Chain A
């Protein structure tokens, strides 16, 4: 780099992504705080370690193959072409670009930005399955989501050359579907196979509320997630790019599809969609702190697909609808299908994310999705200049691909496989005693309390009185559906 202006551009871009990575670390701090706050005292350290250990495992696997997938699979393969051979030069783990290199200053920070998205995708699932999943099982699922499935969807729908963008006009600038719907779908698959926590549903199907051990801690966690989410938005942009085209040179920020936007635009819309979600969440939840803040998160997620282009009031309204949808659907699904999503992540990320992708297809109908690889090759319409056009059908199908095809199905398959070997869920007696009890001990050794866990003492006592682990499953109407551990199966035999 001998040209000073060119060097400044490169070094600024390198620094820009580095800063976003540090900000995004707060997402994970927030998830840790939020999930630990949401767990009962007997499960705190297990919950924490589950979220912590996904960091190294997703990181190393994202180095080994996740980053390669992003560059290799935009064509499917088999939809718009094959595996892209040049991906190996940039992103194969043995490539000299995957390490300190004086001729490449962007690959490492760009890899890290995507990696932090990977942690987030895996961490969304983490909260849903607290208090009964095995650590080892969850970490395998985390690798699947963080280093395989989400990055496939990024290659398909979050790259200017991705087949979903080029053929379907898919638009999802800040990842309503690409991160949140896929993680929500995966979380739903996990809780279906895993089953509810012991005592969550009564013998007549009534839903029992298992309260967080520390509500304000869970809320502070959500505030930290907001903070990191802001960094995430910035990381989704390219800071300086010539977008002038035939009209001449014009430098701007762009979204991930290399279409113009500004940092101001996403700052307006991030805050307005957050506000819409908070306002609606406050009302619909009757001022419940946990669900008010979850409503704020659902608000951002719902507007994220189009927050590069929306008017701030549009972002606010979409955020409000997203928050109401998440809240209502969470409790409807819980009641109707007896699905125990411990922190509401399927709703806040999955349903709000799905809605966000769908609504963006309507709101941004006809906008250019990305520069065309082949002009006028889009299935659902092109702009007058031959660019694939954003459209409702493309985004609806895209939402289904994110939530169900890449989110739900692969995770369901792996969860069923782990369940088959009895490796998905902890033994019933361990769940009742608490996942910390034998492994870690008391998380609050200097506190003596007598209150029941979320009003649950009677239920758990009766369950415990009804079993030794030798007769697992006879819990007097509080039998958990779902996965059974290898230890419990062995005991029954």
Chain B
């Protein structure tokens, strides 16, 4: 009979003598070090990602104007990626300047900005 290689227990026949159930017992300190590093790394990554996100947002808002960004994503209408892409395209073509461009009211009485 070949005895299998094991990572922990190989029998449950004497439960009173069993303590830990998990594999690789004795390496708990290493598990904790890895976990703590991942936790701290998560915070660092989040701060970096957030900074990048806001830099990109401000770059866009600077080009289209904050008030226009509000029309697309703020108080009046919420933005979609398509809305933003329309603004980007308009900016690239030189058609849209900063500030809102009002159109006729929608059927529900609301106003949509150009490109929405």
A interface residues (Cβ-Cβ under 8 A, vs B)? 2, 40-42, 57, 60-61, 63-64, 93-96, 98-103, 134-136, 139-140, 423, 426-427, 429-430, 432-434, 436-439, 441-445, 448-450, 452-453, 456-457, 460-461, 464-465, 467-470, 485-487, 491
Contacts and interface: CB of A to CB of B under 8 A. Distances in A.
A442 B19 contact: no
20 contacts: A61-B39, A94-B32, A96-B25, A101-B21, A139-B43, A430-B58, A432-B69, A432-B70, A433-B57, A433-B70, A437-B79, A442-B73, A450-B76, A450-B106, A450-B110, A453-B75, A456-B75, A469-B58, A487-B54, A491-B58
Contact of A468 (B62, B73, B80): B62
Given A60-B39, A93-B28, A101 B20 contact: yes
Contacts of B62: 429, 468-470
B110 A449 contact: yes
Contacts of A491: 58
A291 to B, nearest CB: 24
A468 B78 contact: no
A445 B66 contact: no
Given A101-B21, A423-B47, A450 B111 contact: yes
- Cβ-closest 5 pairs across A and B: A437-B73, A450-B110, A442-B78, A438-B57, A94-B28
A427 B108 contact: no
Contacts of A60: 35, 39
Given A135-B50, A437-B72, 15 more contacts: A2-B16, A96-B28, A98-B28, A423-B47, A429-B58, A432-B69, A433-B69, A433-B73, A434-B73, A439-B57, A464-B66, A464-B70, A467-B66, A468-B66, A491-B58
Q: Interface on chain A toward B: helix, strand, loop, or mixed SS?
A: loop
B78 A434 contact: yes
Interface in B38-82: 39, 42-43, 46-47, 50-51, 53-58, 60-62, 65-67, 69-70, 72-81
A55 to B, nearest CB: 13
B18 interface: yes
Given A135-B46, A486-B51, A437 B66 contact: no
Contact of A457 (B18, B66, B76, B98): B76
A430 B54 contact: yes
A449 B19 CA distance: 61
Contact of B18 (A2, A42, A102): A102
A443 B80 CA distance: 9
A450 B36 CA distance: 48
Contacts, number: 176
Q: Which secondary structure dominates chain B's binding surface?
A: helix
Contact of B58 (A98, A427, A444): A427
A442 B74 contact: no
B19 A103 contact: yes
B94 interface: no
B43 A99 contact: no
B70 A64 contact: no
Contact of A436 (B42, B43, B78): B78
B83 to A, nearest CB: 8
Nearest to A445: B80
Contacts of B15: 102
Contact of A93 (B16, B32, B75): B32
A450 B79 CA distance: 14
The listed residue with most B CB atoms (<10 A of its CB), out of A2, A64, A430, is A430
Contact of A429 (B18, B66, B76): B66
B6 interface: no
B53 A439 contact: yes
A450 B109 contact: yes
A437 to B, nearest CB: 3
Nearest to B62: A468
Nearest to B75: A453
Contact of B74 (A100, A140, A444, A460): A460
Contacts of A136: 43, 46-47, 50
Given A450-B108, A464-B67, A41 B35 contact: no
Contacts of B39: 57, 60-61, 64
Contacts of A450: 76, 105-106, 108-111
Contacts of A57: 39, 42
Contacts of B112: 448
Contacts of B21: 99-102
A93 B109 CA distance: 60
B20 A96 contact: yes
Contacts of A442: 73, 78-80
